[in-house]
Structure 1
Amino acid sequence: MKSITINGSKRESVGKKATKALRNAGQVPCVLYGGDEPLHFSAEEIAFKDLVYTPDVHTVEIKLKGGEVFNAVLQDIQFHPVTDAILHIDFYQIFEDKEITMEIPVHTTGVARGVKNGGVLRFNLRRMRVKGLPGNLPDFIEADITSLKIGNKLYVTALQSDEFKIMHPDNTVVCQVRTSRNVIADTDDEEEETAADEVPATEVNETE
């Protein structure tokens, strides 16, 4: 999994006045949990751009002035209700020999057979909650949807891996192909391969 480096400084004071002064200076107050005791630090708001404003997931290397380095994952983030500015971030320290739980994005490959026949691909699960050692967690989980016909569903059981454990029930649907007005009869005859960018398919998010 890709890692992002955040350069910061330990916070000497964690009171409301000190926190407000940090934010006014363009700094984000943060807390790192998972160690012997919580570690309070701050970093420039712009340093979190590639970590927060992206659909991808990353581990974080926190480098503090003085030479201390910690590996962590983003645990929680608070935004200003009006400006959407980052107000506070919680991190959780990770160790290579200890399993962690993360939400990993799902990327599909191929063009579903049902979509070629006019169906609509609907997503029930854009991210999957998985557990494993930090070094075994992928940047994304690949789901091959080529064989899905109209009415077929792809379950999380089809995406199991020896590298991590999926934390969803076995009957959880990742995506499915639904019928539409433009549907045509499906046959078992071999069909000519069609490039993804040549298929006018519609992808729709759907909450379970």
Structure 2
Amino acid sequence: MKTYTLKAEARTDFGKKAAKAIRVENKIPVVLNGGEVFALPFTGTLKPGEKLVEIGNGKALITTDLLVNADDVRKLVYTPDVFAIELDVNGEKRNAVLREIQFHPVKDTILHIDFLEVFNNKPVVVEVPVKLEGHAEGVKAGGKLTLSMKKLKVKAIYTEIPERVVVNIDNLGLGKTLQVGDLHYEGLELVNAKNAVVCAVQLTRAARGAAAKA
């Protein structure tokens, strides 16, 4: 997975007025989730932008409110590629992946971004684009190849997550489907439903006619 370096700063002003002022400055509010879990009561010191979020059972985790420049996230957002994000928060390096983006319903501008902090010893789930490879037997026989799932949810340590999930379709016959449960990759776990169809070769009229004559 490619790495994308993104500068960020702690957000300390909140509310509608502050959010409007932030966007006027061409900046986007960001929340970095997935931080360390602590037992309550918390006795440590929070850094600027950090806050405690209770998760039950006497525990809480730290999330961080940040600001990023809107121009800096264009390549990160408007692309099919998946990136490991290296956040530079006032000189402190923190690793993350993109989790969710909130767009303006009319203008389609970015209103808010959620990042998930990642670590070398903790698997995460990331949606990765699917790339079909090969020439399906069913297509050679006159069928039509269809891709039902453009992305798959992959669970792994973030450094092991590939840029694409490559699916070989050489042996996919006419009228056959390839399901998530048929795919296996070392070091990766696919967390989509096992019976979900990734791709298929559909029968066409020409293929049916050829089969009938045969």
**TM bucket by the smaller chain?**
0.7 to 0.9
Shift of 1:162: 2.3
**Within 5 Å, which residues of 2 pair with 1:25-44?**
25-36=25-36, 37-44=62-69
Q: Which residue type is aligned with residue 102 of structure 2?
A: Q
Aligned counterparts of 2:119 and 2:143: Cα–Cα separation in 1 = 45
Contact 1:150 1:179 in 2 (8 A): yes
- Identify the match of residue 86 of structure 2 among 61, 65, 87: 61
* Match status 1:85 vs 2:96: no
- Identify the match of residue 186 of structure 2 among 162, 183, 196: 162
Q: Helix, strand or coil for the counterpart of 2:98?
A: strand
Partner of 1:176: 200
| Alignment: residue pair count | 185
TM-score, with length taken from structure 1: 0.84
RMSD: 1.5
Contact 1:32 1:39 in 2 (8 A): yes
Aligned counterparts of 2:141 and 2:122: Cα–Cα separation in 1 = 46
* Match status 1:141 vs 2:165: yes
Aligned counterparts of 1:141 and 1:158: Cα–Cα separation in 2 = 13
Aligned counterparts of 1:138 and 1:153: Cα–Cα separation in 2 = 24
**Within 5 Å, which residues of 2 pair with 1:97-176?**
97-176=121-200
Partner of 2:96: 72
Aligned counterparts of 1:15 and 1:170: Cα–Cα separation in 2 = 43
CA deviations 1:134-186 (Å, max 9, x no partner) are 12211111111112121111122332122111112322211110011232647
Q: Which residue type is aligned with residue 169 of structure 1?
A: A
Gaps of 5+ in 1: 187-208
**Within 5 Å, which residues of 2 pair with 1:189-200?**
none
Aligned counterparts of 2:193 and 2:22: Cα–Cα separation in 1 = 43
Bigger strand fraction: 2
CA deviations 1:118-138 (Å, max 9, x no partner) are 211112211111211112211
Q: Helix, strand or coil for the counterpart of 2:108?
A: coil
Shift of 1:30: 0.6
CA deviations 1:8-63 (Å, max 9, x no partner) are 21112122211110101111111111124111111111111111111121111111
* Match status 1:50 vs 2:75: yes
Return structure 1 stretches of 4+ with deviation > 6 angstroms: none
Contact 1:14 1:40 in 2 (8 A): no
Gaps of 5+ in 2: 37-61
Pick which of 153-162 and 17-26 moved more.
153-162
TM-score, with length taken from structure 2: 0.82
Partner of 1:2: 2
